[in-house]
Amino acid sequence: MRNNGRVNEARGSDAGTPYVTLGRDEWAALADATPLPLTEADIAKVRGLGDPVDLAEVDQIYRPLSRLLDLYSGATGALHRATSQFLGERASRTPFVIGVAGSVAVGKSTTARLLKELMARWPRSPRVELVTTDGFLYPNSVLIERDLLARKGFPESYDRRALRNFILQVKSGASEVRAPVYSHQVYDIVPDQQVVVRQPDVLIVEGLNVLQTAQSREPGASQIAVSDFFDVSIYVDADPDDIRRWYIERFLALRESAFARPDSYFHSYSTLTDTQAKAVAGQVWDTVNAPNLARNIAPTRSRATIILRKGADHTVESVRLRKL
C-alpha cells in the first residue's frame, strides 16, 4: 500500500471484527500532503461549547478523515454511475450522504461542522449541507401526549418516517427539500421555521440515533431506516463516564450563557449554585441520556464505517475503520 510516498504492509483487520484500529499518530500519517485549509478562526466558528478542538486536532484527525471521505465519495459516485449505465439511464445527481452518530454531549455537532467546512474546500468545491435530526423530534405537545417528554432523544421521540422521507427526497435529487427546525433554547420545535436543502453534493446527517436499523417490531413499519441511505457513517465514541462529565461541565457553562436568556426553557436553572446545577445535570444524564446511550445509541456503534474514539480530554485517541 502506498502512503505519502512510503510503502506499508497491508494491515490486517482486528481479530474477529471487520475493523482495523489505528492509533492517533498512525492515523495522522495518512493525510496527504495538502495543507490544512482551515484557520484557527474557522475552527473557532464551528467549535461546540466545551469542545477544546484546535488546529492540531483538525490537522491530525480531520484532515486524513476528509481525504478518506473524498476517496469514498469518488468511489460511490462511480458505483452510482455504474447502476445508471446498467439500467440504460442517464446518471442523475445524487448526493454523497454521511451519517454522524454518538451520545448527547460527545461532540458530534463539532465533528459534523468541521467535516462540512473541510469537504466544502475539496478541489471541486462541492456544496455541503448539514442537517441535525433534532428537527425531526416530535413537538413537546406530542411528546407530552405520548408520555415521552422524559425520553427526548430516544428513537421513539422522533418522527422517523418524516426523517427517512426527507433523506430519500434529497437523495432522489429533488430540487428543494424542507426540514423542521428544533431550538435548544426553547427546547421545542420552532413553528413556521424550516431549513431548505437544495440539491447538495454532500449531505451530512447528524444525530443520536442515525445508525438505528428499521423497527421491525412495528406492524406495517417500513423496513428501510435512515441508515440505509448512508454512503458512509461515523460514530463519535468515548467512555460514558467522560461524556457524563462533559455533559455536566457544559450544563454549568450553559447556566451562564444560554440559560441566562429569558426565553430559555431552562431559565430557572440559571440561578442554581454549582452544587445544585451539578445535581440537576447529573440527574438528567442518569435518567435520560445515559439510558438512551446504553440502550439505543452504543449498540449501533458496530454499524459505523468509522469510529472516532475520544480520550478524557476530548482529543481522538484512535480511529477504527471498517475494512471488511
Q: Interface residues with ligand PAZ (CB under 6 A)? A: 104, 132-134, 152-153, 207-208, 284, 288-289
> Could you say whether residue 266 binds ligand ADP (CB under 6 A)?
yes
Which residue ranges make up the annotated binding site?
102-109
> Could you say whether residue 179 binds ligand ADP (CB under 6 A)?
no
Phi, psi of 49 (to 5 degrees): -60, 125
Q: Least Å distance between CB 118 and ligand ADP?
A: 17
Distances (CA, A) of 298 to 99, 114, 201, 229: 15, 23, 29, 20
Query: Which C-beta is closer to ligand PAZ: that of 64 or that of 207?
Result: 207
Q: Give which of ligand PAZ, ligand ADP, none residue 185 binds (C-beta under 5 to 8 Å, depending on kind).
A: ligand ADP
Q: Give which of ligand PAZ, ligand ADP, none residue 288 binds (C-beta under 5 to 8 Å, depending on kind).
A: ligand PAZ
Query: Which C-beta is closer to ligand ADP: that of 128 or that of 236?
Result: 236
Instruction: Judge whether 310 and 106 are in contact, CB under 8 Å.
Output: yes
How far is it, in rounded angstroms, from Cα 157 to Cα 132?
14
Q: Which three cell numbers stand for residue 224?
A: 428501510
Give the CA count within 13 Å in the CB-facing half-sphere of 204: 26
Site string for ligand ADP, 28-67 (x = CB under 6 A): --------------------xx------------------
Which residues lie closer than 8 Å to 67 by C-beta, 6 or more apart?
30, 31, 32
Q: Give which of ligand ADP, ligand PAZ, none residue 284 binds (C-beta under 5 to 8 Å, depending on kind).
A: ligand PAZ
Which residues lie closer than 8 Å to 265 by C-beta, 6 or more apart?
185, 186, 187, 188
Instruction: Judge whether 261 and 311 are in contact, CB under 8 Å.
Output: no
Phi, psi of 39 (to 5 degrees): -105, 170
Q: Least Å distance between CB 136 and ligand PAZ?
A: 7
Find the angle CA(69)-CA(209)-CA(117) to the nearest 5 degrees.
35
Q: Which of 185, 199, 315, 318 binds ligand ADP (CB under 6 A)?
A: 185
How far is it, in rounded angstroms, from Cα 88 to Cα 177?
27
Q: Least Å distance between CB 133 and ligand PAZ?
A: 4
Q: Least Å distance between CB 178 and ligand ADP?
A: 21
Q: Which of 28, 31, 106, 316 binds ligand ADP (CB under 6 A)?
A: 106
> Could you say whether residue 298 binds ligand ADP (CB under 6 A)?
no
Q: Least Å distance between CB 260 and ligand PAZ?
A: 17
> Could you say whether residue 281 binds ligand ADP (CB under 6 A)?
no
Which residue ranges make up the annotated binding site for ATP?
102-109
What does DSSP assign to residue 31? S
Q: Which three cell numbers stand for residue 226?
A: 435512515
Q: Give which of ligand PAZ, ligand ADP, none residue 64 binds (C-beta under 5 to 8 Å, depending on kind).
A: none
Q: Give which of ligand ADP, ligand PAZ, none residue 48 binds (C-beta under 5 to 8 Å, depending on kind).
A: ligand ADP
Q: Which of 107, 135, 180, 200 binds ligand ADP (CB under 6 A)?
A: 107
Which residues lie closer than 8 Å to 32 by C-beta, 6 or more apart?
4, 67
Long-range pairs for 8-12 at CB < 8 Å and ≥24 separation? 11/323
Q: Give which of ligand PAZ, ligand ADP, none residue 280 binds (C-beta under 5 to 8 Å, depending on kind).
A: none
Contacting positions for ligand ADP (CB under 6 A): 48-49, 102, 104-109, 184-185, 254, 258, 266
